[in-house]
Every structure is written in structure tokens, then in C-alpha cells.
Amino acid sequence: MTLRTSILAGSVLAAVCLTGVAIAQDQPAAAPAPAAAEPAADAAPAEPALSPEATKGRYLATAGNCITCHTAEGGKPFTGGLAFPTDFGTIYSTNITQDAETGIGKWSLDDFKKAMRQGVRPDGAHLYPAFPYTSFTKLTDEDVAALYAYMKTLGAEAAPAKANTLKFPYNQRALMGVWKSLFFKEGTFKADPAKSPEINRGAYLVEGLGHCSACHSPRNFLGAEKDDALLTGGVFNDKSAGGAIRQWSATNLTQHATGLGGWDVEAINAYLKTGLSKRATVFGPMNEVVMNSTKKLTDEDVKAMAVYLKQVPAKEGNSGSAPSKEQLTQGETVYTIRCGTCHLPTGLGSETLGPSLVGSAVAQAPSASTLINIILYGPKLPAPPAFSSPRKQMTPFADEMRDDEVAAVASYVRNTWGNKAGAVSAADVAKQR
């Protein structure tokens, strides 16, 4: 985390916001139980017939991935209680079933709209942007009403909110009012008449319901997404296997060469639709995005997201200074011994070995934390397996490599074969242990 603490209240809110987007996933046990992780779409046959409006709302809830954040490990769907670890304590998602006391059973459509579009509770309290209302504000009135109709069908499950363990003064919701006045822009999505309906639909899904920027955009020192660097790559904290809180970097999603520049529409589409593409395989925190959300969307909607992403202008993320020659030499040696058998000396990999690291967005992400995680712990693929990959799975190296070796090989793959990104230090690696 590079947050400054000089502006106390603000940076605290920032951190809550910044790290609050985390989803516990790192291993199957940390993820919502499989049953809970199944989006409502799958549970359809067991449910009473839904009205057309509620059916639409159920689909929108899948696109917004409400279930992933609002279901605790082993908990009932939508009853909340999932922990979002932050540097300033832990914030928990809330019960959004129809229970009158502990859920949102008493909320009117207007109350619900205010929460989704303005981040305000019926009693006027501000919500933390760990709940991505900064994206959901783009929802149309019609879609908010459909979501509300679906929420009404969820049944009432009593599940009292877990008390956040944010320290004073971080626990002061009133401070969010200040943050909002500085950074929050309320407003429904405005279609760009110069662009096709498909691109506009993709933009609505990516920027609005899909809240992709919550993880994929850098934040300023007050934790607000940087408007001028949207989708150029971000970081967030996530609870891992042993309960350790680890940083992850989400890649640059613009058309820059360090982002999705080398991906065609088909590759982006396949990745979001199946988790497997010729460019990369889904792993880590993206598992829940793909498995619980994008995979379940219609072919047209996924394609629209891919077409939209393919035309986001190239913009480089800020990844720091280049590595030294010495480090690159060390990195080449480590690469030859540890990585070259699968990713090949050319970095190009093959269909049956490792994927290409040439132009890899994960390798070149502004923050190297995901690259470090994959080297130390191996890529955590979706469980149960979501696709059969012809490739040999990558193994973890945490026990076999020193921090300086991991740093050197990471710097090497970030700066070879035309790749370009900042150096990784042994201290960066130590933080991910």
C-alpha cells in the first residue's frame, strides 16, 4: 500500500475503500461455500416462478456479483458477513435478504435506490465504498427496480451484521460524507451516441454493474479511483489460505501493450466466458468474477464487454523504475532453471506447457504483487475445476526460492521479450510471504 497517512481521516477512508474490494478467495476454503457460490441463476428450478421483472433482476444480480461479496464462507446466500480485510481493521458485508430486522426487508424501492446510487442508508448513514456504489450509481432506474424486485424474492434470513472492527476514527461513517463530496460522482450511465449500441452495452456492464474498475483502477491517496487512469491496473488486499492478508494486483485492462493490447476480442470473450483463453487462464481473485458472474452472462453481453474493452484507449499504468543490469542477469539464470521448461526461453510457451509471458498483462501489471503470488504459491485455479486445460499446472516456488531470486526472475519476465515494467525488489517479495 502506498497510502499516505498525512491526511488522517481521508487516508483511512481511502484504505477502507481501497482494500475493501477484496474478496476472500485464495484457496477454496476461503471462498464462499460451493452451494453459496452458485449464483441464483443455477438455483432457478428450486425457486418459485419469478415475475419477468424479478427474473431480469436476478440476471442483473449475477452481472453485479452481489452473491460473492454478500455470502460468508459456509453462510447462507446473501446473508452477508464476508470479511473485507483492511489495514485499519475489518469491514463486513451486510445481510441483504428480506429479514425485517437484520436485512433489508423494510426497505422501500426508494431506500434501495439510495443505497445503490448514492451509498446512503435509509437512516442517512453513509456506506463505505467497499460496497461498489461508486460503480452501481451508473445503473438505470429500470435496472435498480428490477434488482429490487429480485431482492424481494430472496426470503428472510435472520443474520445480524457482524460488527466492523475498524479502529477509531476509521469507524466514523460521517467521514464518508467528506470523501463523497470530494470524489463521488453520482449519476446514471450516459450512452455515447458516437459509439455502437454494443459498445455502450459493454461499457454499462464493465463500468456499472460489473464494477471492474473497483479492482482494475489505481486509487489516489484518498482511495478514490483515479479518473485519468481508469482501468490501468490497481491493487487490493485479500485474505489467503492461512488467514494471512496478501496484496494482489489487478492488471491493466486498457489496450496498452502492458495490458490487453495483445488480446483480440475473441481472447477477452473466451476468458470472461470460460476462464480459459489462448492468452491466459483465470486464477486467483478473478476466479469469482468469472465463475460467479461473467461466465453466467449471455453470449451477447460477454461479447459486448469484450468489444468495449478492445476499444478502451491504450494507457500505461505507473509501475516504477527499470531494474538494474545485474538483477536482470540473475533473473535470466533463475528463469532458465525454474521457468524455461514450461514458458520456454523465448517466453512464448506452448499449447501444452505454459502460456506466453510475452505481452502478459499479469507479468507487466503496474504492481508486481500478483506476479509474485503466482511464483510463490502457483496459480490458484477455480475449484472445482471449471475447464480442462491442456497445460501442465504451474507449481509453487515459495519453498525453493529466496526473495532475491523471486525478485530477480520477476524483474526479468517484466523486462524481456519486449515486456516493460518496473523492477521488483526482495522487500516487495518479502511482503507477500
Q: Which residues from 149-188 bind ligand HEC, rule CB under 6 A?
A: none
Residue 193 or 351 with smaller CB distance to ligand HEC: 351
As given in the structure block, the three cell numbers for residue 212 are 471492474
How many CB atoms neighbour CB 96 within 10 A? 27
Q: Is 270 in the site for ligand HEC (CB under 6 A)?
A: no
Cα 410 vs. chain centroid, distance in angstroms? 22
Residue 193 or 364 with smaller CB distance to ligand HEC: 364
Cα 39 vs. chain centroid, distance in angstroms? 17
Cα→Cα distances 114→24, 136, 145, 157, 175, Å: 27, 11, 12, 23, 18
Closest approach, Cβ 250 to ligand HEC, in A, equals: 4
Of 281, 279, 275, 283, give the one whose Cα is nearest residue 264.
279
Q: Is 423 in the site for ligand HEC (CB under 6 A)?
A: no
Closest approach, Cβ 356 to ligand HEC, in A, equals: 8
Residue located via cell numbers 446466500 = 77
Q: Which residues from 371-400 bind ligand HEC, rule CB under 6 A?
A: 371, 374-375, 379, 389, 391-395, 397
What is the end-to-end Cα distance of the chain in Å, rounded? 15
Closest approach, Cβ 242 to ligand HEC, in A, equals: 19
Using CB under 6 A as the criterion, what x/- string covers residues 198-217 for binding ligand HEC? --------x---xxx-xxx-
Q: Which residues from 103-122 bind ligand HEC, rule CB under 6 A?
A: 104, 115, 121
Distance CA 53, CA 61 (A): 12
Stretch that binds ligand HEC, among 5-13, 62-70, 416-424, 425-433 (CB under 6 A): 62-70
Q: Is 66 in the site for ligand HEC (CB under 6 A)?
A: yes
Using CB under 6 A as the criterion, what x/- string covers residues 318-337 for binding ligand HEC? --------------------
Using CB under 6 A as the criterion, what x/- string covers residues 85-104 for binding ligand HEC? ------x-xx-x-------x
Q: Is 341 in the site for ligand HEC (CB under 6 A)?
A: yes
Binds ligand HEC (CB under 6 A): choice among 17, 56, 84, 170 = 84
Tell me the chain's radius of gyration from C-alpha atoms: 21
Distance CA 411, CA 220 (A): 25
b/e 279-296 (16+ beta carbons within 10 angstroms → b): bbbbbbbbbbbbbbbbbb
